[in-house]
Amino acid sequence: MILLDIEGTTTPVEFVYRTLFGFARENFSTFLHAASDEPEVRDCIADLKAQCAADRSERKDPPEWRTGAAELEIDSAARYALWLMDRDSKTRPLKSLQGLIWQEGYRSGKLHGEIYPDVLPAFERWRKQGKEISIYSSGSALAQEMLFRTIPAVDLTTRIKAFFDTRVGNKTNPESYKKIASISGFQENRILFLSDTVAELDAALSAGMRTALVVRSSKEENDALSGHPIIKNFDELA
């Protein structure tokens, strides 16, 4: 089984940070006001409110959460979500809301998924070899699926067995990778995890998986000394 990270592994970092994050930033307030009656969105707002209170108790100085009228709650949720994004937070309600916003963007045609040129040939090669392909990203499973579904001229979700997000655990926790192996029905040593982040690879290796560091662009010297095999693209795994 091949387990893949997204950002910097299958998809350019610039697309994630500039296109996807930029779209979420621009649309948080509008989306929350339009969809605040949806149960999933209400749950996210409630979870953000609880997280904001926890951050305040830990003296992290989040923006004030104004209570009372629904409009105040929604505006507070939008401000807090942007505050979390500024800190590259992986908190689940933030990621869930981002996924819902991106879903609207993909459905409207304003967003399209993006991958590196070697990804599609690799998917086809691995499928012919009988290998299963799964994704593990901090972005919600919904966001992952929509990205791969809207690649121009191809729906890559037909080649992907499963999408895993932080509901299975943090990406730097070895237990997360053990859980993925258990769900997938593979022994850990039968799974190859590809990522551009050393801490994630360290966790997967500790769980018993095989690993490779994907270096799509210039990396810091300590990455080269990480102890993980290094590849520059998926063609090197042919």
pLDDT tens sequence across 183-228:
999 999 999 999 999 999 999 999 999 999 999 876 544 455 678 9
Asked if residue 131 and residue 70 are part of one domain, the reply reads no
> What are the angstrom distances between the C-alpha of 4 and each of 79, 119, 138, 182?
32, 11, 12, 17
- Structural domain count, the chain: 2
Q: Exposed/middle/buried for 1, CB within 10 Å: 0-12, 13-18, 19+?
A: buried
Report the chain's C-alpha Rg in angstroms: 19
Which of 108, 123, 141 is the last residue in one of the domains? 108
Asked if residue 192 and residue 171 are part of one domain, the reply reads yes
Asked if residue 35 and residue 133 are part of one domain, the reply reads no
* β-sheet with 210-214: strand ranges across: 162-164, 133-136, 2-4, 192-195, 210-214, 230-231
Structural domain including 201 reads 2-12+113-237
- pLDDT at site 221: 46
- pLDDT at site 190: 98
Which of 47, 82, 108 is the last residue in one of the domains? 108
CATH number at residue 140: 3.40.50.1000
Asked if residue 222 and residue 181 are part of one domain, the reply reads yes
Look at residue 109 and tell me whether its pLDDT is greater than 70.
yes
7-40 per-position pLDDT tens digit: 999 999 999 999 999 999 999 999 999 999 999 9
- pLDDT at site 179: 98
- pLDDT at site 225: 63
123-164 per-position pLDDT tens digit: 999 999 999 999 999 999 999 999 999 999 899 999 999 999
Write down the pTM of the prediction: 0.87
> What are the angstrom distances between the C-alpha of 74 and each of 64, 115, 155?
12, 34, 35
